[in-house]
């Protein structure tokens, strides 16, 4: 478990408050996107790709430290921007971003496989 993030685990102190805060931020992001008139899924997908490219830029330049409690501002900003663009894209497509995440997690939760070279490879079914 990453240091300083015990609140992310069910049943630990702060988990409920953090979850409520996350819902509020997602709601704020959706309202912001609507207020700005973001409604074109193709244009929004381009923003998603751009922001994921910024994450790739930071990672490929080793601008992170797995042993640190905090990461460089550029990486934090890139990941945050990518999350914002994906949340807005889900809303444009009339999808609940939390529902999308839940469905994805349900699909992988019991998945069998192994990690090879840092990547999870699912077992053949």
| The two three-digit tokens of residue 119, written as one number | 């990547």
Q: What is the model's pLDDT at position 13?
A: 73
Q: What is the DSSP letter of 123?
A: P
Percent of the chain scored above 90 by pLDDT?
A: 64
Q: What is the model's pLDDT at position 120?
A: 85
pTM (two decimals): 0.86
Residues 85, 86, 92, 97: what is their CA dihedral angle, to the nearest 10 degrees?
-140
Going by pLDDT thresholds of 50, 70 and 90, the confidence category of residue 2 is very low
Strand spans (E) along the chain: 113-116, 119-122
10-24, 43-57, 65-79, 102-116: lowest mean pLDDT where? Answer: 10-24
The helix (H) or strand (E) run that includes residue 75 is: helix 73-92
Of residues 3 and 90, more confidence is placed in 90
């Amino acid at each position: 478990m990453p240091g300083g993030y015990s609140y992310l685990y069910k049943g630990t102190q702060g988990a409920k408050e953090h979850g409520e805060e996350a819902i509020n931020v997602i709601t704020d992001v959706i309202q912001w996107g609507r207020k700005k008139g973001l409604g074109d899924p193709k244009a929004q997908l381009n923003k998603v790709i751009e922001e994921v490219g910024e994450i790739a830029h930071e990672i490929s330049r080793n601008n992170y430290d797995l042993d640190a409690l905090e990461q460089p501002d550029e990486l934090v900003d890139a990941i945050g921007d990518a999350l914002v663009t994906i949340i807005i894209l889900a809303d444009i497509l009339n999808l609940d971003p939390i529902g999308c995440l839940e469905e994805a997690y349900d699909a992988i939760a019991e998945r069998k496989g192994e990690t090879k070279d840092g990547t999870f490879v699912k077992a053949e079914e």
